[in-house]
Structure 1
Amino acid sequence: MDYEILANHILAGVGGKENIGSAWHCATRLRFKLKDESKAKTEKIENMDGVITVVKSAGQYQVVIGNNVAKVFEPLAEAIGLSQENSVMEKEEEKSKENIINRFIGFISSVFTPFLGAMAGTGVLKGLLALVVTLGWLQESSGTYQILYAAGDAFFYFLPVWLAFTAAAHLKVNQFVAAALAGALLYPNLITLLAGSKPVTFFGITVVGTTYSSSVIPILLAVWLLSYLQPILDKLFHESIRNIFTPMVSLMIMVPLTLLVVGPLGTSVGTLLSSSVESVYRVAPYVAGAVMGALWQVFVIFGVHWTFVPVMTNNISQLGYDYLLPMLSVAVLAQSGAALGVFLKTKDTKMKSLAGSSVLTGVLGITEPAIYGVTLKLKRPFIFATIAGGIGGAIAGGGGAHANAFTLPSLLALPTYLGKGFISVVTGLVIAFVLSAVATYFFGVPSQPQSNDEKNFKNNASIQDNLVIAPISGTIIPLESVKDQVFASGAMGKGIAIVPNDDKIISPIDGTVAAIYPSKHAIGLISYGGVEVLIHVGIDTVQLNGKYFTQLVEQGQKISVGTPLITFDREAIQEAGYDTTVMVIITNTADYKITETEETIADNNWLLQLKAL
């Protein structure tokens, strides 16, 4: 797949660069805040090859891509002038239009998303170390254990630094000043001083001895205050000294203020939050497990799951463990089980492929492909997964399962659940996965009759399967002779070229229109057999911006051999100085053995014959 082309199509679909307030990505989704959501062509985007679905939630326009989201975001960011690290373009007046809940969810999402994978990975490492110690393979006093534990624990210990850096990016604050502020809270000499028996004062005011390692809320509050202080200082200092004096004065004010007021306040809020969650859990653990196991993926759909991330990380910081994470793993495995049920039952080739890959990504903690591409699309599998997740969650919650480190809810997180309730969470995971898969297999996949187009194609498969006809009459020439190095080199795929003597492009296959370019000079098709065909009219004709071209079909439209696709004014294009040679490219060349043929079948001149490898 050409991710740059997909990125450009998505950019056009959301209304172009001018309609984007901010853009970033998480593990599976492109996330936009659009200035005018009505300009986005949602149905067109959902039909793009490579897009699973579109979700509108928490004030965000989310395009679900799956595991390749970073590959799509990179050219998208380049097109709109962003970088992976600085993926925000939003203006203050646009922020003010959002309600406070959406702003909070968006803030938490943008703060945790950049490093969630690293934090989860180090959490798994800590869990594995706990496992090898339990098995007696390593001693906690050994140098090997201490070094590996440092590798696993350092990220969480210095969590305030990473939070400061990402929060500053979202709030438009100097990221290095914010990181320095967090670093001051973790400074070894200061920690030792505050832990001593003598009180520490700042101009006569006693500093509360609070530990900030692994904390969440204090630094987020501090950076939020910094976002108001920095603009004031920028206005106060002349631009000739601003770059030095604004950071200096910011730290002179914010470090003492955080140690004296913001830090203790944030710590108190965190302690209250953790104790409240623990109290609710202790009163009704089965109910808590059932609710979280059943509704977690619903929270994911609406984007509000981000509000639980600071709660869970804060629990581990304050209590040393978290009760929520094991329940969430049950919900994740339930969705994976439903995807497995679909994979085993469905006869739809595309759905089977998506469901199969979704099982693997699901058990590893990424459920969006399973939810949006499989279970939610078929409805009943999602319902069965919700029920199974509730049952498994009740078992895990009732057994007192808890996580000793933060990581993504998944099978990989199992070592972090070692200790009290471990058997209950394993039991809950197995029941949720198996029950969801079995229920989906027998009751969750409706029989889907084939469309007439697909039936007709399969009836004629002996004639047309994996054969590509000439989309226009003219003189056939080797692709290598085309005066365009990209096509001639085969970089786009193998194919053939035609010097046309007609002005109408027809479909060379039975299938679907996969992509239409805004300039109308090219069109992407995919056959029912899976052949991906790109028809490109002329060389450099994209510069005409659609002039002299007429589009006759829409993206997602079913087509058959001979369906008119594009008409163009050949003479006008030539007079404008452009070569009108038509290229027919098989973009998934790697999947086929391709041979050229001059056979004539049913009055159609077959150009290419493909055999799947």
Structure 2
Amino acid sequence: MHYQDTARQIITLIGGKNNILSLFHCITRLRFQLKDNDKADRAALEALEGVFGVNISGDQFQLIIGNDVDPLCNALLSQLPGIDSAFRPTQRRNPISVILEGLSNIFSPIIPAIAGAGILKGLLALMVAMKWVETSHQSYQILLAISDGVFYFLPFALAFSAAKKFGANPYVAVALTAVLFHPAIQTLFKAGGPVSFIGLPVPTVNYASTVIPVLLAVWLLGHVERIVDRFMPGPLKTMFVPLLCLLIVTPITLIAIGPVGIYAGNALSGGIIWMVENMGIVAGVVVGGTLSLIIITGMHYVIVPIMINNISTMGFDPIKFLFYIANLGQAGAAFGVFLRARDKKLKTLALSTSFSAAMGITEPAMYGVNIRYKRPFAAALIGGACGGAFAMTMGVKTYAFALSGLPGIPALVGPTFLWAVVSIAISFVCAAALTVILGFEESTQPVVAGVSPVPIGKSAEKLFAPVSGELKALNTLSDPVFADEIFGKGLAIYPTTGELRSPVNGKVESVFETHHALALQSDTGAELLIHIGIDTVKLGGKHFTSHIAAGQFVEVGDLLVTFDLAALKAENIDPSVILVVTNSECYGDISPVKETGDVASRDEFLTLTATAA
């Protein structure tokens, strides 16, 4: 790559110098802040030599570069005098982006509990429908409590998660929420007469399973807590900051925030129900056909609270099922690629990603296959529109919150179950058939260029686990760049410790300034990228300490980086340690010593086999 020439082309295609506000880079990506993202020519940028892809995250315009990111960034900055190159993860945040990211961070930690309970709820509904169990049986009642408990007391889980996002004390947030469920309050509400607090009327509403009131209350709590803490003397903070916060925020919640949140939630839910009931097939076509695009932008997080609220309060939701439709459309399109493709590697990739999409994990299929080859992605959207149209026409509903794939089928058990299954089949089959009919250009598959050959005389090399934890395949990661193996093959570990150690004997090629990522080259020529956590660049180095420098020689087991694992989890960040062999094309095979389970630091965990001469 000729860095200065490439830099000039990037500046032109990204909208010119006047469109660039700032630029910095992480271990693999150029991260721009642009005045207008729409001025950038994404297709032309993706076609540039050395650019593996384009991604937009919030307001940040990212070019995925790989090992050449540092010299290319320097070449860009040399042609952009006066451009801010400082790391500013909070610069120029769009309010909508902030809301979407906030909803994602709040709901992501609690969705596993909701999904697990939702599947049980669906199974119980199936058992009742098949008359395998009596609803009066004590065992059924206990199982019902297990499946329904998290939904009834959802405000508690939500308060704890929201407090971490809004900077409030999570335990004070739970205490605030507990007031809404206290027997004394419930007795007042159930008495039927007017309720007041110091002369102000308190509306009598039911807070069980609610979402919006708690989010608003905890948001206010975070602001009040910071104001009170600022003026409270140090020795009195522990007792009196929580006391004053509860005395200020709780009455406001009961009198105003809570009722407003209830009414807002009911209005949003009612609007969706009205759209489905009155626009049926149109709603199915529009939402079913565009939901994958909505998921890419992150806008679907706006819908999640509404869906959960509908299921919690009404026992069903009419929109959640369209997520199944969209996912099976992506699965069908990838399966169509498997049927049509001639290249064996592509067929294998398409089949595996089709299966994962059918299971509810669409990123590998969507980013790794369908979007890459363009026409399959269009086929997936059309398949979603067809399935959505049929589903809305037949009034299909979801009766529990679960993963939107085949494992979540029990959540569909109810009066519309049969039509739900037919709708899923329509989405999958239409997408697969259209992919086969429309075809695609296999030559568009990117090839990693500029990798160095593996030295002759080394038939195989073992890499050792850089950290202790649970093994994870790359395609299970939420970051499509790693999940789609754009930079090479490898493996991830969900860590149980905060010590990153060298997996090879070799040399430190580079250490990113925020210490969350580094590059190594082994003595035998393997080029490795190690990345701690997903999107940890936004932390600006917080929670990471580097113990090495570029150019340093290391041996297996040497300490490279320490990181605060608990703090990363508290920031709602996936702390997975990702190891990628960036010159994967030089090897005949890269395979894990074992596919799943736990691994200890310095255990053998990857085998690199050289290409036969």
Shorter chain as normaliser: what TM range? 0.5 to 0.7
> Is structure 2 residue 551 aligned with structure 1 residue 546?
yes
> Is structure 2 residue 56 aligned with structure 1 residue 56?
yes
Q: What secondary structure sits across from 2:292 in the alignment?
A: helix
C-alpha deviation, 1:359, in angstroms: 2.3
Change in 2 beyond 3 A, CA 1:207/1:330 = same
What is the rounded CA distance, in whole Å, between the counterparts of 2:187 and 2:275 in structure 1?
36
> Is structure 2 residue 298 aligned with structure 1 residue 293?
no
CA distances 1:546-577 after superposition (whole Å, capped 9, x unpaired): 2799xxxxx9679879xxxxxxxxxxxxxxxx
Q: What secondary structure sits across from 1:518 in the alignment?
A: strand
Q: What is aligned with 1:523?
A: 521
Q: What secondary structure sits across from 1:290 in the alignment?
A: helix
Q: What is aligned with 1:209?
A: 204
1:94-243 equivalences under 5 Å are 95=90, 97-243=92-238
Change in 2 beyond 3 A, CA 1:140/1:469 = same
What is the rounded CA distance, in whole Å, between the counterparts of 1:284 and 1:525 in structure 2?
64
Percent of aligned pairs sharing the same letter: 35
CA distances 1:134-192 after superposition (whole Å, capped 9, x unpaired): 00011111111111111111111111111111111111111111111112212244223
What is the rounded CA distance, in whole Å, between the counterparts of 1:59 and 1:433 in structure 2?
33
Q: What secondary structure sits across from 2:109 in the alignment?
A: helix
> Is structure 2 residue 310 aligned with structure 1 residue 312?
no
Is the contact between residue 166 and residue 219 of structure 2 (CA under 8 Å) also seen in structure 1?
Answer: yes
Residue of structure 2 aligned with 1:324, choices 319, 327, 330: 319
1:409-448 equivalences under 5 Å are 409-448=404-443
Q: What is aligned with 1:386?
A: 381
CA distances 1:494-544 after superposition (whole Å, capped 9, x unpaired): xxxxxxxxxxxxxxxxxx987993179943799xxxxx94699xxxxx956
Change in 2 beyond 3 A, CA 1:193/1:560 = closer
What is the rounded CA distance, in whole Å, between the counterparts of 2:413 and 2:245 in structure 1?
44
Amino acid aligned to 1:197:
G
Amino acid aligned to 1:230:
E
Residue of structure 1 aligned with 2:457, choices 445, 450, 470: 470
Q: What is aligned with 2:356?
A: 361
CA distances 1:20-76 after superposition (whole Å, capped 9, x unpaired): xxxxxxxxxxxxxxx965424656999xxxxx9773233368999xxxxxxxxxxxx
CA distances 1:180-219 after superposition (whole Å, capped 9, x unpaired): 1112212244223311234333223332211111111111
More displaced, 153-162 or 393-402? 153-162
C-alpha deviation, 1:451, in angstroms: 10
> Is structure 2 residue 247 aligned with structure 1 residue 252?
yes
Is the contact between residue 162 and residue 218 of structure 2 (CA under 8 Å) also seen in structure 1?
Answer: yes
Change in 2 beyond 3 A, CA 1:405/1:560 = closer
Change in 2 beyond 3 A, CA 1:123/1:559 = closer
Q: Which has the higher Rg, Structure 1 or Structure 2?
A: 1
TM normalised by structure 2 equals 0.64
Q: What is aligned with 2:337?
A: 342
Is the contact between residue 329 and residue 410 of structure 1 (CA under 8 Å) also seen in structure 2?
Answer: yes
Q: What secondary structure sits across from 1:523 in the alignment?
A: strand
Amino acid aligned to 2:551:
G
TM normalised by structure 1 equals 0.64
Amino acid aligned to 1:469:
I
Amino acid aligned to 2:55:
V
What is the rounded CA distance, in whole Å, between the counterparts of 1:544 and 1:253 in structure 2?
51
What is the rounded CA distance, in whole Å, between the counterparts of 1:293 and 1:589 in structure 2?
38
CA distances 1:294-339 after superposition (whole Å, capped 9, x unpaired): 1010011111111111221232344332110112211111111112
Amino acid aligned to 1:517:
E
Amino acid aligned to 1:266:
G
> Is structure 2 residue 390 aligned with structure 1 residue 395?
yes
Is the contact between residue 358 and residue 369 of structure 1 (CA under 8 Å) also seen in structure 2?
Answer: yes
Q: What is aligned with 1:271?
A: 266
Q: What secondary structure sits across from 2:55 in the alignment?
A: strand
C-alpha deviation, 1:347, in angstroms: 4.2
Give the gaps of 5 or more residues in structure 1. Answer: 1-34, 47-51, 65-92, 455-463, 480-485, 493-511, 527-531, 537-541, 550-554, 562-584, 592-607
C-alpha deviation, 1:395, in angstroms: 0.1
Q: What is aligned with 1:39?
A: 25
Is the contact between residue 514 and residue 524 of structure 1 (CA under 8 Å) also seen in structure 2?
Answer: no
Q: What secondary structure sits across from 1:213 in the alignment?
A: coil
Amino acid aligned to 1:109:
S
What is the rounded CA distance, in whole Å, between the counterparts of 2:321 and 2:221 in structure 1?
36
What is the rounded CA distance, in whole Å, between the counterparts of 1:417 and 1:150 in structure 2?
19
C-alpha deviation, 1:351, in angstroms: 3.3
What is the rounded CA distance, in whole Å, between the counterparts of 1:313 and 1:432 in structure 2?
24
Change in 2 beyond 3 A, CA 1:517/1:138 = farther
C-alpha deviation, 1:118, in angstroms: 1.8
What is the rounded CA distance, in whole Å, between the counterparts of 1:257 and 1:535 in structure 2?
55
Give the gaps of 5 or more residues in structure 2. Answer: 1-20, 32-45, 47-51, 65-87, 467-486, 491-507, 512-517, 530-546, 555-580, 595-607
What is the rounded CA distance, in whole Å, between the counterparts of 2:370 and 2:279 in structure 1?
30
1:452-601 equivalences under 5 Å are 469-470=456-457, 517-518=509-510, 522-523=520-521, 533=526, 545-546=550-551, 588=591, 590=593
What is the rounded CA distance, in whole Å, between the counterparts of 1:559 and 1:365 in structure 2?
30
Is the contact between residue 586 and residue 611 of structure 2 (CA under 8 Å) also seen in structure 1?
Answer: no
CA distances 1:72-109 after superposition (whole Å, capped 9, x unpaired): xxxxxxxxxxxxxxxxxxxxx96573121111111111
